[in-house]
Amino acid sequence: MSERDRLRRLILEEVDEILPRLIELSDWMGRHPELGSEEHEASKRLSEELERRGFEVERGILGMPTAFRAYYSGVGPSPKIAFLAEYDALPEIGHGCGHNIIGTAGIGAGIALRRVLDEVPGTALVFGTPAEEGRGPSAGAKRRMSEAGVFDDVDVAMMIHPTSGITRVNEGFLAVTGIAVEFRGRMAHAAAFPHLGVNALNAAVLMYMAVHANRQQLKRGANAVIHGIIKEGGVASNIIPDRATLQFGVRSSDDDYIPELVEMVENCARGAALATGCEVHVEVRPGLKSNVRNQPLEGLLYRVFRELGEEVEPPEATSKRIPLASTDFSDVTHVVPGVHPMVSIAPEGVALHTREFAEATMTERGHKAIGIGAKAMALAALELLLDPRLLEEVKEAHRRVVESH
Ligand SMILES: [Zn+2]
Ligand SMILES: [Zn+2]
């Protein structure tokens, strides 16, 4: 047996050994979902598992109580491979995005890579990244970590996400910016003294329709999406509403198009305020970027998934898919080469962000995905540690794309 094959076998054995524990942790999270920025117990359980297996753990990094950084170096510090864990759930539907699988596959990959690090130079890092769904003070954790330089000394970052349909080595993700709008008017009796009122709901409705009218003129090929709601529009029909609020999200695969979309939404808000005599306050929240793809990394993951016997879509076919969603992992891929495989846990057509998908994370197929995800990431990491040429190719591809951005 070659040296490489022996090391690969160690990694596979390690994942098989720890899989029952990973499944236990994932199912516990599935049954005890915690919302973003409040994932105290999940963060504690995942980071303690790493600690028990020899990792150094720093908790509460960047002032985010449920974030952590765990690392293990053996015979040498470099290269540094990071696995990202998520563990936040959604309101009402629990782990309908399957972040319990992301968290456990992430620590599983770290623990498995650790097994070979007393023989092969390198560092395994596991980052606990809270509030991916954008809730609470730790929302956009990976963006904040990227901006603060947390990933600067990392060579490659990886995470898996569960999905329905066939497993893919990556996916395109949209840039997104959230916009919150508040109109202020004046309350009045709606029948007796309407002339004394300034109707904030009317402003909200006008704004909503103005944004809607602009949808027809969106740039073709930019995969632009605008979604919005009227969140508050009054308290009783016999009172002219003095306050109305809306929330919008603008998305595109073209990062440079986002500021134009934001400006359009702001103009709609100002126009509606002028038309109704309301005051308006617009808050543009910090956005997320679209992701930087990395062909050599995608090729590596494709090879590894196939070696594991996982049915996986060829990367060329995946590239033809239209980007649908957004993730704060995209910001990480602007700093370091990164890959975000989508591992199947349910048949095509089972939508993410549903109760059905949350259930799927706790089935045999969901459990299998934890093992496949951990193995694929750890084996890909091993290849990068053993093959400096491949690592350089990955970094060079990243430099090329980032410089042309
Ligand atoms: Zn989600
Ligand atoms: Zn998700």
Mean pLDDT for 260-269 is 98
**Cα of 350 to ligand 1 centre, how many Å?**
14
Note the pLDDT tens digit of each residue in 26-57.
999 999 999 999 999 999 999 999 999 999 99
**Cα of 161 to ligand 2 centre, how many Å?**
7
**Cα of 5 to ligand 2 centre, how many Å?**
33
**Cα of 236 to ligand 2 centre, how many Å?**
37
> Using CB atoms within 10 A of its CB, is residue 220 exposed (0-12), middle (13-18) or buried (19+)?
exposed
Contact at 8 Å (CB) between 100 and 29? yes
pLDDT-based confidence at 404, cuts 50/70/90? confident
Tokens matching residue 150: 């947390």
**Cα of 260 to ligand 1 centre, how many Å?**
26
- 251 and 318 in a single domain? The answer is no
**Cα of 98 to ligand 1 centre, how many Å?**
8
Mean pLDDT for 158-182 is 97
Tokens matching residue 389: 């040429």
pLDDT at 403: 87
- 330 and 204 in a single domain? The answer is no
**Cα of 10 to ligand 1 centre, how many Å?**
33
**Cα of 91 to ligand 1 centre, how many Å?**
11
Q: How far apart are CA 42 and CA 203, in angstroms?
A: 43
Q: How far apart are CA 347 and CA 342, in angstroms?
A: 13
**Cα of 242 to ligand 1 centre, how many Å?**
34
- 39 and 134 in a single domain? The answer is yes
Token pair 């103005």 is at which residue?
210
Number of H helices, E strands in the chain: 12, 12
pLDDT-based confidence at 192, cuts 50/70/90? very high
**233 CB neighbour count, 10 Å cutoff:** 17
pLDDT at 112: 98
Instruction: Calculate ∠ Cα 282-284-285, nearest 5°.
Output: 135
**Cα of 132 to ligand 1 centre, how many Å?**
7
Q: How far apart are CA 283 and CA 269, in angstroms?
A: 11
**Cα of 305 to ligand 2 centre, how many Å?**
21
* Listed residues 242, 262, 284: the one ending a domain: 284
Question: Residue 185 sits in a domain of what CATH number?
Answer: 3.30.70.360
**Cα of 258 to ligand 1 centre, how many Å?**
21
% of the chain beyond a pLDDT of 70? 100
- 148 and 266 in a single domain? The answer is no
**Cα of 155 to ligand 2 centre, how many Å?**
24
- 248 and 336 in a single domain? The answer is no
Mean pLDDT for 331-351 is 97
Does the structure show a pLDDT above 80 at 405? no
Q: DSSP characters for 238-279?
A: TB--SEEEEEEEEEES-GGGHHHHHHHHHHHHHHHHHHHT-E
How far is residue 385 from each of residues 75, 156, 202, measured CA to CA in Å? 12, 11, 61
- 298 and 162 in a single domain? The answer is yes
- 159 and 181 in a single domain? The answer is no
| Total structural domains within the chain | 2
Q: Pick from 385, 336, 338, 380: which is nearest to 154 by CA?
A: 336
- 31 and 72 in a single domain? The answer is yes
Ligand (nearest to CA of 163): 2
- 161 and 182 in a single domain? The answer is no
* Listed residues 249, 284, 319: the one ending a domain: 284
Ligand (nearest to CA of 87): 2
**Cα of 170 to ligand 1 centre, how many Å?**
16
Does the structure show a pLDDT above 90 at 284? yes
- 37 and 131 in a single domain? The answer is yes
Q: 42 by DSSP, 3-state: which?
A: helix
| Domain extent for 220 | 175-284
DSSP state letter for 222: S
Q: State which residues have CB under 5 angstroms from ligand 1, the bound ion.
A: 97
Q: How far apart are CA 46 and CA 361, in angstroms?
A: 17
Contact at 8 Å (CB) between 371 and 16? yes
**Cα of 163 to ligand 1 centre, how many Å?**
10
**Cα of 186 to ligand 2 centre, how many Å?**
41
Kind and range of the H or E run holding 12: helix 3-31
**Cα of 316 to ligand 1 centre, how many Å?**
25
> Using CB atoms within 10 A of its CB, is residue 86 exposed (0-12), middle (13-18) or buried (19+)?
buried
- 36 and 168 in a single domain? The answer is yes
**Cα of 161 to ligand 1 centre, how many Å?**
9
For strands 156-158 and 175-184, give the pairing: unpaired
pLDDT at 156: 98
* Listed residues 259, 284, 309: the one ending a domain: 284
Mean pLDDT for 359-363 is 98
Q: How far apart are CA 389 and CA 405, in angstroms?
A: 25
Q: How far apart are CA 243 and CA 404, in angstroms?
A: 45
pLDDT-based confidence at 1, cuts 50/70/90? confident
For 338-357, letters b (16+ CB in 10 Å) and e give bbbbbbbbbeeebebebeeb
**Cα of 211 to ligand 2 centre, how many Å?**
27
**Cα of 135 to ligand 2 centre, how many Å?**
13
Calculated CA dihedral for residues 144, 146, 147, 148, nearest 10 degrees = 80
For 285-309, letters b (16+ CB in 10 Å) and e give eebbbbbbbbbbbbbbbbbbbeebe
**Cα of 23 to ligand 1 centre, how many Å?**
20
Q: Whole-prediction pTM value?
A: 0.94
**Cα of 207 to ligand 1 centre, how many Å?**
28
- 168 and 222 in a single domain? The answer is no
Contact at 8 Å (CB) between 42 and 132? no
Question: Residue 29 sits in a domain of what CATH number?
Answer: 3.40.630.10
Mean pLDDT for 95-118 is 98
**27 CB neighbour count, 10 Å cutoff:** 18
Does the structure show a pLDDT above 80 at 368? yes
